[in-house]
Every structure is written in structure tokens, then in C-alpha cells.
Structure 1
Amino acid sequence: MGERGSTVTFALQGSVQLTAASGLLDLMADSDGAAADVVLDVTRVRSFSELGRRMSLEGLRRLRLDGRKVAVRDPSGVLPDPDPGDGSYPDAF
């Protein structure tokens, strides 16, 4: 996790499955109010399991419900259909 001004970035790498996504949810919950904007950086991610994908997007949904602006940095398109389940999509970064 990195912080720059009013933005916090969560950078993942490798293959995101249950364990990594669970850790991400914990970090997102702990960052509550740390910054107004949140970026999920998946530039170094090779793949997401379906559960890892859903959990990561759920974390973004929760942050959005808390009133924070969320964005995804995904230049390779490894996070398919980034709808967190509420019909909205995070900003592209």
C-alpha cells in the first residue's frame, strides 16, 4: 500500500486468489478514511481467480459506499469486467 497526498494505492502482484484478496480486504478496511481517493493497481498481476476477482471488487465497492473515489490501474486487462456488483465501474487510471 502506498500513499500520495489524498490518494492511497493498493498494488497487487502475481496470481490473486483467496489469500491475497483476503489480505487486500483487510488493508482496505484498515485504510478507512486514510485518503479520499483509492487506486487498485493490478499492473503486475498475472491472473485473478474468480473468488479473488470478486473479493477485490467487493473491497472497491465498500470503499465507494464509504464515499471514496475508486479507480483501477489495469493496462493489460487482467481484471475482467470490473463491475463491483452494483452496476457501476471504477474509473480507469
Structure 2
Amino acid sequence: MAGLAASSSAGATPLATELQRALTVPGVSWKATGVVTIDLPTGGTVYRRNAALSLRPASNEKLAVALAALVELGPGYRITTQVLGDGTLDGSVWRGRLVLK
């Protein structure tokens, strides 16, 4: 498990072990993938792998985020997004600034 680090000095935490298992996908190279998982209440690092690797976000990165949200928040959780804008609607085209919050 080169590149794996967990917040526990005694070894990987159960969550870090589960993340390692879930994120090990046949055909997906860890050379082009990075992960950092933070415990929001404490700010501590739960899991990281290739954390310093500079990557462009891609569709497959959303899979890990979706899995974490599903496990942590449950399938019934709904994320609300406000769509704010400063401009005008010209037919079906928005002309101006648009912010997703």
C-alpha cells in the first residue's frame, strides 16, 4: 500500500481500510489518482494517497465523492443548490453572471 497514510499511527483506521478497498478498481492506476479524506469535525486526515499529485478533475473523480456521500449521508439525503444570477434571460440563454451556491 505504497502512498497510503492514515491518521492512526497504529495503522489504517477501519474507514481508511474501507476506502482503500472501495477505491481499488481493476484497470484504474493509482499513478493517475489522488485521494484526501478529512474528518470535518476534527480537521484530521483520515486517508490520503498521492495527496500532492496535481490532477485535473475528471468524471471518474466524481465516483469516489458520490460513494462517500452515499455512505455518509445515506440514499435519502438531498443536496440543495441555489442558482443565483445577475443578468437577463434571452430565450433559453442566460446572459450575465451565474453562481451555483
Asked if TM exceeds 0.5, the reply is no
Q: Which has more helix, going by share of residues?
A: 1
User: More strand by proportion, 1 or 2?
Assistant: 1
Normalising by structure 1, report the TM-score. 0.30
**Higher RCO (Cα < 8 Å, 6 or more apart):** 1
